[in-house]
A and B are shown apart, each in its own frame.
Chain A
């Protein structure tokens, strides 16, 4: 590990000629920082983007990130919505590629059902506690 790190350090110095910020030199994708003209479509896109996870960030949605990859993904979302695609279809398209990790809105699946079942259990438990405490003969 130390070897790799020192190698990276040397490389970073060598790369001095190649600016690290080069990432930012290419202008952002057209729809990374531009809204769709149709407000309804833009609202749909915004809603979807707020629930898609930025893959390059620690834990942010693509709607909250300046990472270039998040910008490119916003472009994907907006241009697909503009082309008339359904937001949920775009979400599934991304889940096919990146797994459930990419979506902040968990689906009910074999691995995630307890996420939805347990709150119902809590609700039942809460009602039960109230009934036990207050429902019996006065």
Chain B
């Protein structure tokens, strides 16, 4: 009986040490604050969005399954990092990426002003006023960029603004999706 009790007490010590080890592990590595989409490897859900501005067509899921891979950029005119990634999107477009986009909770005139100021790398812009498409593809914020292959299957999700060093990686992913 006494021996068993002592066993339990040492178990308590081991439990506490395990807990501290867990704390140490979590402290020592950067916290992953992103919520990753569960839709990677799945076909993009069906949707059809009206155009967000008058000089670009809207976006539907069918547009993404025409054989050509796309970058799908989730953005909004009210989002500061979206402006920060504009040069990188321009560079991606210059290198041959076909970029389509979804504008989240935005007014046409605000999108217009944003594009006039930072350039327009998009071939299509759908207006997602209720974040419906955002939810459907498992995106949890702006900006995010998805790689969608020619069959409309989501291959990759980039969370946050695109930095300069992300450009070659995204081109690589896009190339991979085209094969």
Contact = CB atoms under 8 A, between A and B. Distances in A.
Interface in A3-27: 4, 7-8, 11-12, 14-15, 18-23, 25-26
Nearest to A53: B35
Contact of A95 (B38, B80, B107, B110): B38
Give the bracket for the number of chain A residues in contact with chain B: 20 to 34
B81 A8 contact: yes
Contact of B38 (A68, A72, A98): A98
Nearest to A30: B130
State the majority secondary structure of interface residues on A: helix
Contacts, number: 85
Interface in B138-160: 138, 140-141
Contact of B35 (A4, A8, A14, A98): A98
A97 interface: yes
Give the bracket for the number of chain B residues in contact with chain A: 20 to 34
A55 interface: yes
A56 B79 CA distance: 13
Interface string B103-135: 001110010011001000000000001111011
B50 interface: no
B136 interface: yes
Given A18-B114, A55-B140, A101-B35, A7 B105 contact: no
A52 to B, nearest CB: 11
Interface string A81-112: 00000000000001111110110000000000
Contact of A73 (B81, B110, B135): B135
Given A68-B105, A72-B135, A97-B136, A8 B80 contact: yes
16 contacts: A4-B163, A7-B84, A8-B80, A14-B83, A22-B77, A29-B129, A55-B140, A69-B131, A72-B132, A72-B134, A75-B130, A94-B135, A96-B39, A98-B140, A99-B35, A99-B38
Interface of A: 4, 7-8, 11-12, 14-15, 18-23, 25-26, 29, 55-56, 68-69, 72-73, 75-76, 94-99, 101-102
